Structure 1
Amino acid sequence: MIYIDDICKFHSIITDLKDSGVSVHLYGNSTECFSGAYAGFDTPPNNTLAIRIVALTSVGTIYCNSFTKLKESETVENAKQLYNQLSVTNAQVSYSKDSGTVTIK
């Protein structure tokens, strides 16, 4: 299992896998939310774009857990475009560091 926290790197890897003929199935979501742990406590609510995607491939599982501050508008728009290009099936996904497992609901 590969864990990635950058949507740009994730998009690049998935694109390369698909171009190589690897079977890739994507599940996840993109939400605007507040997360003090990632954004700092001096920023307003709903200030973060959170993207969580799991890629089930014939060569392994890849989990993307990307957070971008909404005030970084160019970065946010780029992340949204990359997310849309991936054609992700909408689902709630999570990763457990303790067990190393991914859950798709």
Structure 2
Amino acid sequence: MAIVVTEACNGCRYTECVAVCPAGCFHADERMVYIDPATCIECRACIPVCPVQAIYDEEDLPGALSGWVEINATRAPLLPAVEEKLPPLKAGAA
């Protein structure tokens, strides 16, 4: 199983998830974050802190979002790791 960031993160890029991750498995591009399944310890700490409910345990992932398992696995290793909270992309976001 895996923890997966989905399309709801795209354009928001809140990083409360990064702040609670003990494994440093988040990676980011200019639009969103991704989880590297090779480094994720599946602690699930990131799921409840996501303000847009973009993060799922794979076993709870709605079928329409199943493609995000592969997207995270493919994109995350190609991007720089994020270990500190970043400013969100949405104007006025906390």
Q: Name the TM-score, length of structure 1 as normaliser.
A: 0.29
- Rg bigger for which structure? 1
**Which has the higher relative contact order, 1 or 2, with Cα contacts under 8 A spaced 6 or more apart?**
2
Structure with the largest fraction of strand: 1
